Amino acid sequence: MPPVAAGPASDSAPSSDGPAPAPPRPPPRVPSVYEYVDYRAFLRDHFAASKILKPQYSYRYFSRRAGLASSNFLKLVMDGKRNLGAGTIECFARALKLDDAESRFFADLVGLSQAETLVERNRAFERVAANRRFRAARRLEGPLFEYLRHWYYPVVRELAARADFVDDPRWLAGELLPPVTVREARAALDVLGRLGLLVRDASGRLVRGEPSLTTGHEVRSAMVPVYHRQMIERAGAAVDDVPPDERDVSALTVCIRASSLADLKQRIRRFREEMMERCDTETEPERVYQLCIQLFPLSRGPPSAPPVGTAPPRPESPPRGGAKPRGARGRPGG
């Protein structure tokens, strides 16, 4: 029998015949705002931790500290039923005891969540992603984060499949539609090379690499929507900027049963795989295209019907490898 530490006998003394008691759990930590991309999630976690650390902490307590008339406003914001305006952002920052830098970052998170236009949302995301303390929190680092941060990174990787590809930022900047700056093109080459998405072959030519872009769920949930929004913006511009004989923009509006959604999504996935297989057989590719497949509700369902999208969720998948062509097909066309 292993020795037992000597000490005064008591009913709570550890027994040599049973497992040692688990060490006490450390108290919760009030989270840092830099660990989040969703300001409502930050508010929920901050409130939960504060409630444990200070039992008297409540919605009314928070409202008094923020100088708000409504004692339930914090709950409504956390539940997504109310938004924050410029004035209430300052009130919340004061109640959360955020310093000036943290308050500005909190305001950027609010802007990212509540932006009314794609341009405003992208600008807010750029401010969030550029924050050094946010990056230092290590909650959104990883290959996928860097790869999908800018719409033209996957495009640059695909351009490397062209026989006349030139490993030069000036040439590259002018080949993209719309053009990017030489500095942006140089950064794209650097990032893609570091991630192994562009590699040197035996002859020293820069070609596409095939690494696995995997990372945590938070990275995917934050970055994939940003990527899709950027590409949807590019698709909208193409309607005006690209001649009809060089594009296919079409739509199909239908009325279906909610139970049919899972089958439609499965058909789209099969079509996407067929398109991927078809494009992968190109031996002398010439131009990078983007194919965006979009299926989303435009009306509410009847009260008796289950919500649209109640089929088992499937993770939203980023583009495989590079930005393979993705787009919309249907009626009417244009």
What is the mean predicted confidence (pLDDT) over 204-216?
71
Q: How many Cα atoms are found within 13 Å in the side-chain-facing hemisphere of 253? A: 3
| Helical (H) or strand (E) element with 200 | strand 198-200
Considering only residues 38 and 84, tell me which one the structure prediction assigns the higher pLDDT: 84
List, in order, residues 6 or more apart from 72 with CB less than 8 Å away.
59, 63
Angle, helix 86-95 to helix 100-114, in steps of 10 degrees = 130
Q: What is the pLDDT of residues 87-104, one digit of tens each?
A: 999 999 999 999 999 999
The pLDDT of residue 210 is above 80: no
Least confident of 80-89, 128-137, 189-198: 128-137
Residue position matching structure tokens 């976690």: 45
SS3 131: coil
**pLDDT the model gives residue 98:** 95
**pLDDT the model gives residue 135:** 67
pLDDT grade for 9, boundaries at 50, 70 and 90: very low
Considering only residues 1 and 142, tell me which one the structure prediction assigns the higher pLDDT: 142
SS3 324: coil
SS3 314: coil
Residue position matching structure tokens 């956390």: 78
For residue 298 the two structure tokens come to 């435009």
Backbone phi, psi, residue 109, to 5°: -65, -40
The pLDDT of residue 6 is above 80: no
What is the mean predicted confidence (pLDDT) over 158-171?
92
**pLDDT the model gives residue 182:** 96
**pLDDT the model gives residue 307:** 55
The pLDDT of residue 128 is above 60: yes
Backbone phi, psi, residue 200, to 5°: -95, 135
Least confident of 107-121, 141-155, 165-179, 210-224: 210-224
Domain 33-136 sits in CATH at: 1.10.260
The pLDDT of residue 328 is above 70: no
The pLDDT of residue 148 is above 70: yes
pLDDT grade for 11, boundaries at 50, 70 and 90: very low
pLDDT grade for 28, boundaries at 50, 70 and 90: low
Distance of alpha carbon 228 from its chain centroid, rounded?
A: 9
**pLDDT the model gives residue 3:** 38
The burial of 225, by beta-carbon neighbours within 10 Å (0-12 exposed, 13-18 middle, 19 or more buried), is given as middle
Residue of 84, 301, 331, 288 whose CA lies nearest to 188: 288
Contact in structure between 292 and 250 (CB atoms under 8 Å): no
Residue of 295, 299, 308 whose CA lies nearest to 251: 295
Contact in structure between 51 and 57 (CB atoms under 8 Å): yes
Query: Mean pLDDT of all residues in the chain?
Result: 79
**Amino acid present at 161:** A
What is the mean predicted confidence (pLDDT) over 216-226?
62
Percentage above 90 pLDDT, the chain: 37
